[in-house]
Structure 1
Amino acid sequence: MSQEFVPDDNFSVSEALEEDRPNDASAVSEQEVVPITVVGSRAAVLETIHTLYRLGFASVGDWSPPQRGAKPGPVISVLIRRHRKA
């Protein structure tokens, strides 16, 4: 399914993961990166993002802009969360 989405010149998940990584090697080893993906119609993706915001999960601006797929219809938006390893 991930092959259906076309990369956008303005955003890619791998670039976002690279940009969010701290430069300190010890900090990286203490953190786990968790990408959260929402896939569906543009309206459903935006509604889900706003619902998660109202629940206190993440700010709307923390999500990537919805990216179109290769086929008409579904879009994808990604949120990168970091957690300290236990």
Structure 2
Amino acid sequence: MSQEFVPDDNFSDRPNDGSTVPEQEVVQITVVGSPAAVSETIHTLYRLGFAAVGDWSPPQRGPKPGQVISVLIKRSSRKP
């Protein structure tokens, strides 16, 4: 087999122009409140097309008694 078809594993001499890996913007959205209010908010955001219900973390105990917290992490490509 010819050496010209053997892949070159040394990528350090190749310029990184960013065209293969887009930069991402990361946003974390946190909803805190009663279980009913948190659920209602998540479903409202779903109806608005913001995020799927399953994209949110399961409700966890909140900072105060009777509260829960749920988190959504959204990633989007950053435009140059």
Q: Normalising by the residue count of structure 2, what TM-score does the alignment of the two structures yield?
A: 0.66
Q: Which has the higher helix share?
A: 1
On the 8 A contact 2:28/2:71 being kept in 1, the answer is yes
Aligned-partner Cα distance in 2 for 1:83–1:54: 20
Question: Which of 64, 73, 81 in structure 1 is aligned with 2:74?
Answer: 81
In the aligned structure 1, how far is the partner of 2:64 from the partner of 2:32? 13
2:26 partner amino acid: V
CA-CA distance at 1:70 after TM superposition: 5.0
- Pair 1:48-2:41 in alignment: yes
Change (3 A) 1:70 1:36: closer
Calculate percent identity across the aligned residue pairs. 77
Which of 71, 76, 79 lines up with 2:64 in the alignment? 71
| Whole-angstrom distance in 1 between the partners of 2:72 and 2:49 | 14
Q: Which amino acid aligns with 2:37?
A: A
| Gaps in structure 1 of 5+ consecutive residues | 1-25
DSSP-derived class of the 1:76 partner: strand
> 1:57 is matched with which residue?
50
Cross-structure match for 2:23:
30
Query: With structure 1 as the length reference, what TM-score do the two structures score?
Result: 0.62
Alpha carbons 2:32, 2:62 under 8 Å: kept: no
- Superposition CA RMSD, Å: 1.6
Instruction: Give 1:5's aligned residue.
Output: none
Which protein has the larger Cα radius of gyration, Structure 1 or Structure 2? 2
